[in-house]
Each structure stands twice: as C-alpha cells, then as structure tokens.
Amino acid sequence: MTVKIYHNPRCSKSRQTLQILVESGAEHEVVLYLQEPPAAGSILRIAEYLQTPVASLLRSGESAVKDATDLPDLNNDEALAAWLHENPIAIERPIVVDSETGKAVIGRPPENVRELLGK
C-alpha cells in the first residue's frame, strides 16, 4: 500500500503525521500541496474518501477564507473544490489518502493516520 500525504512542512501536525508514516514503514508519496495544488476533481475524490462534504476540508480560521470575497456557496462541492484548487492554503492539513482502499483521514490529531494504516 502506498499512501499520499498532502503535506505542508511548516505545519507541526503535518510534520507529525509524516513522521508516523515514516516510522510505520508505510510507503508514501509526499505532495507539497501549496506548490502542487490538487485539481478540483482530486479534492472531490478526497472528500468522497473522507465521506464528508468538501466544506469540511476548509480551514475556516485561515485568513484566505475569512477575508475571501469570492468564496462559493459551501454547499456547492464542485465550486468549492475549484476554489480550493485556486486557494490551496485554505485546504485542511494534513490529509492522507489511500486510493487503493478509497479511504482518507485528516491528520488532526496526527494519530488518525494509524487508522488508515491499520495500526
């Protein structure tokens, strides 16, 4: 199993989640999502894997969200996913995805990743 972590190295929770992946020996791919924002379709898929609306991936306390004048309706998953692609700083972090099983977790707290790994 290879998992993908949407990682922000400046975030302590993201660093801790990555450390758990490394220590567990799990094969993983690191996506620096601020530099390589996930496509809107990928964001929709992540929300599906999390079994949650796209709005739950929004960092509501982030100034990019609080100050946004172009934030779409939070009930419009497609529009919000497109907005998040354009504003990746507003994406909750870290997110760890196992596309083989169609599951994902948000690493808040970082220990959530153990559920995905089955450990």
What are the residue numbers of the active site? 11
Residue 91 three-state SS: strand
CA–chain centroid gap for 116, Å, is 14
How many C-beta atoms surround the C-beta of residue 15 within 10 A?
15
How big is the CA angle at 112 (ends 108 and 114), to the nearest 5 degrees?
Answer: 150
How many C-beta atoms surround the C-beta of residue 56 within 10 A?
13
* Cα 22 from Cα 20, distance rounded (Å): 5
